[in-house]
Amino acid sequence: MTNTLNVWIAESESWQSFIDFQLPVTKQAEYTFLPNIDYFYISVMNNALNIIEDEIISAEAQKECLALAKALEIFSLENKRDHFSGINRELNMLFTAGLYYLSDYPSSSWILSNLYPPNMYSENIQIFISCFLSRKLDRKNIYCRYLIEYLKTGDIQQIESLIMAFKKKAEYYFGENIIIYFSYSLGLSLMKKFSKNNLWHDLLVQNDNKSFWKPFIKRNIDKAFPIWTFFPSQREALDKGILTNNTTTLQMPTSSGKSSLNELIIYNECKTNSEAKILYLAPFRALASELKNSIAKDLSSLGIKSKTIYGGNFPTPDEQKSISEVNLLIATPEKFLVFENSIPESLKEFSLVICDEGHLLEDRQRGLSYELLLTRLKSRKQSSIRFVFISAIVPNLGIINTWLGGVENSSIHSDYRPTHLDFAFLEEMRGKKRGYYLDVNPTLKYPQRYKLYKYLFDEELVLTQPGKKKKIDTNAGRSVAVSLKAIKSGNVALFAPHKRGNIGVEYLVKEALSQLSYYEENPLIKFASEEFLNNLVSYFSKIFGKEYLLTKSIAQGFLFHHGDFPQGIREIIEDSLRNGYIRLVICTNTLAEGVNLPIKTMVLHSIDRFNPKLPTKYEPIQLRDLKNLIGRAGKETKGLIIIPNKKDFERIKLLIKDNNYEPIKGALYNLVKELTDIIVKERILLSDETIEEADESIQKLIDSIDLSIVDLLSEEFDITDFEKLIKDLLVATLSYTQLNTEEKNTLNSLFEIRGEKIKSLIQNGNFKYLKKSGATYRLFIEINDKIDFQDEIWQKQLDPLDTDWLSYILDTVLFNLDQYETELEEFLENNKKLQLCNDDIKEVIKMWIKGNWYSEISAGLKIEVYQSLRLINSFLSFNVHRMISTIIKIAEIRIEDNLLPNSILVWPSLLQFGLSNELQLDILNMGLIDREAVLGLSSALYGAGYRHSDYESLREYLVANGNQLISQMDSNIPNISLEKINSFISVLQNRFLL
């Protein structure tokens, strides 16, 4: 292509953004391609014709093809096409979508081709191309019938017949009809590419057995978004042996086909061995939940049974039973470790372990469990386990691969993204009037780098209403204004690193509400129906109250998302965005925890994170984490990352350059490094005495060391080999290979000192109790010293709110634990505006189990809703729940002669989820996680005369009578919860989802 054409194509991309953001028309004259639009279009078409006449294989040819596609799309897209005349929009879009497909962007091709359905074309070849690209084949079309047969049978002769036919037709129409000639040439190029790049072709290369792959291919072509081909990243993984028996590590960007690839890996494993057991580790609860509703559902249609487990400290009876019945177990690492500790004999059968979001090996909260679990699994001698380790960003992928036992060529790295990302810096304009422009692609040269002037300008920076005025002159104000402007082009996520504070989510929410109050017409509410908004307002009002920020924000057409919300609320927010009901979400990184959402633009309010240990109190977010975060952006053909604050520009430039990413360290490495730094700084000589006398910050680190030793050990081993076993397992961790000599000495000393503590429990027979309890050594010793497990209350069948039980488990037991006092003090210190005593905690527990919501609890304690959220979802559901679960688990295994009453065994779960009986708990464990829905369905069951006996009977009753129950639901149940119940009943009727 000529230099002029290259400039014009780059300008056309800039012009698209200009139109999307509805910038002042006075700046349109600066686009030089517009006065030459006819010549521009003819040049692009000529180049397109030339390029499709040859096979588009090289990276350079694909890059040119993509540029031509981007140039053509403006003539057919809404809001842009009306600027041009004399061009057939339908045919132009057909050619555009075809070029996107040939450039290896099939998703973009599918989206664009569906904008103009096949019935808008007159020629058979054009109808066929439209059907092919939109994946909606029509048997009435003669060419489609060949493709239908090929997709059904894998008979390559069908495609070869099309290639021959199109070649002859193209030769015939050459010189006769340029449009039809171009159509057949495009069809020929598409079929040549498709013949060597489709599911049948690529899978038969792996295993030349059509009957083996037929169910999998049929399932994929029947999906709502039909899959006929693999992405380049997926093909590379296939070529490098992802389906072999080798351990494999894979780095591929977000949204580049990881889920489909995992489906294929699981299908291949189960098809090869019908008795196969696969463990899918998902470090986030949100990811585990999404996998249950995506991969697990898809695989169920192929006869593959699955179970998803996350949350709770100990396995439920249903979870224990179902493990032996499934092929696929989806679990968080923490939950799987609980299973290993409780029922190790049933978990030795896994032959394949998929490690998703592998970069979280370093995560402070989740990483230790992840690293120790993988160390345990890979150290097993009973069976050979194959690992598939997947992450969007692992700079030291080869080291991870070697650690897990992979061979030299089994480490796979792909940079392919199905959508392109642009970056833009918000810069201040010079002049008398205040204004800002977007400097797009600031690290590139003209014309790829361009400026969108007057992005925010004049009246957009001074909002007015009769009698009041608001200036947009703060960082938060600019971030919100930028986001509200960006909704014109698609969904927007405004990222903040914290929940509260002046760089926090809720601060930005208040700013957004303030700015929207000045708008004559709210631009956000038009994307959702009035019914949807009213349903959510009603739902959130019941849970949080009318004055809570989330209730106020949805009334204005946007939502926010952070870690204080329970999983059910998070999913409602995610579904609202996914289904196109809202255009703006303000969020922390919780929204990016493994969940794929349609975000067109991401605005980064700040890339600094609070760290009280530093003199400055803030530190930059790691580039690796930022890379993973921005990977969530990109919808249709491209995404945009906007950085509104100048202080972040230089660090973002490092991110754009795509290097200098921090390597992944094991979580144990970070733990030991922190301890070593403290030991050196404070000149501590490690010994049993100095550890016992250390302050709480060090004690917490020691707790993690103790847990590491316990988690690395199996329940039964020869005590004479204790020291050697500990050393061998320690050396087998990822962290040990990454520590320097001084840090290794620290770790060895700690394991030796703390190992003696653990060894004493082995010698007196208490180790098995510690192992099964999941407690730290410190908590285990305190519980055993302070609690009388012979008290008669342990044998009573009790109501969950029984006065004697609450007095015993809370007043006598929990409130007298040093660990509880320490954790309550820490919680109150981190929430300085809260002043609570044990009586308050007890009252909250009673209200929560009775079914009260955050709004009612806040009113009862005279605290803010956000405080009750943190109190319940953090302190009660994590700290208190963990300690009480541990106490009851120790009681269960200590009192061997008599089984504990079920009312006591389930009490920690009733506390965690705010439920009052076993019926509600069984409903929740079946998969209905919306608490309001659980309460409503249990009430309907009692109203229908159902008497609860056990989990399986309940499941059978719901499958048989679920639809009738829904029709008899209380009219006070929110519509959102009714929809959740409907979906829940539908899932229950699928016998392959347990």
* pLDDT score of 346: 60
Tell me, what's the pLDDT at 29? Answer: 60
pLDDT tens digits for range 683-695: 888 888 888 888 8
Mean pLDDT value across residues 895-916: 90
CA distance 640 to 44: 25
In this predicted structure, the answer to whether residue 225 has a pLDDT above a threshold of 80 is yes
User: Residue 650 above 90 pLDDT?
Assistant: yes
- Could you report the per-residue pLDDT of 525-548, keeping only the tens digit for each? 988 888 999 999 999 999 999 999
CA distance 853 to 838: 20
Q: In this structure, which topology does domain 420-656 adopt according to CATH? A: Rossmann fold (3.40.50)
Task: Please give the share of the chain, as a percent, with pLDDT higher than 90.
Answer: 59
Banded model confidence at residue 595, pLDDT cuts 50, 70, 90: low
The predicted model gives 907-934 an average pLDDT of 94
- β-sheet bridge partners, residue 370: none
Instruction: Give the confidence band of 636 by pLDDT, cuts at 50, 70, 90.
Output: low
Name the DSSP class of 867: H
Say whether pLDDT at 991 is over 70.
no
End-to-end CA distance of the chain, in Å?
A: 57
The predicted pLDDT at position 113 comes to 95
Q: Give the pTM.
A: 0.91
> Which amino acid is it at 208?
D
pLDDT above 80: residue 342: no
Q: Are 330 and 296 in contact (CB under 8 A)?
A: yes
Per-residue pLDDT tens over the stretch 264-307: 999 999 999 988 899 999 988 888 888 888 899 899 999 999 98
CA distances from residue 377 to 267, 333, 344 in whole angstroms, order as listed: 22, 12, 12
Quick: pLDDT tens for 367-396. 888 998 899 888 876 567 899 999 988 889
Sign of CA dihedral 230, 233, 237, 240: positive
Residue 313 confidence (pLDDT) above 60: no
Higher-confidence position of 242 and 285: 242
Structure tokens at 670: 């970070």
Q: What is the mean pLDDT of the chain?
A: 90
pLDDT digits (tens, 9 = 90+) for 705-721: 888 888 888 766 777 78
Residue 994 pLDDT exceeds 60: no
pLDDT for res 338: 76
Label residue 992 by pLDDT band (50, 70, 90): low
User: Could you read off the pLDDT of 726-748 as tens digits, one per residue?
Assistant: 888 889 999 999 999 989 988 89
Residues of the chain with pLDDT > 70, as a percent, come to 96
CA dist list (Å): 179 to 44, 55, 94, 145, 186: 14, 20, 12, 23, 10
Q: What is the CATH number of domain 230-413?
A: 3.40.50.300
Query: Which of the pair, 647 or 53, is modelled with greater confidence?
Result: 647
Give tens-digit pLDDT for 747-794.
Answer: 899 889 998 889 899 888 888 888 888 889 999 999 999 999 989 999
214 φψ region: left (φ > 0), alpha (ψ -120 to 50), beta (else): alpha
Model confidence at 993, pLDDT cuts 50, 70, 90, reads: low
pLDDT for the residue 134: 96
pLDDT at residue number 127: 98
Rounded Cα distance between 718 and 853, Å, is 51
- What number is the average pLDDT over the span 795-802? 93
- Cα separation, 478 vs 607, in Å, equals 15
Which residues belong to CATH 3.40.50.300 in the chain? 230-413, 420-656
Question: Which carries the bigger pLDDT value, residue 514 or residue 18?
Answer: 514
User: What DSSP assignment string belongs to 830-858?
Assistant: HSTT----HHHHHHHHHHHHHT--HHHHH
550-570 residue pLDDT tens? 999 999 999 999 989 998 899
Mean pLDDT of all residues in 4-19: 90
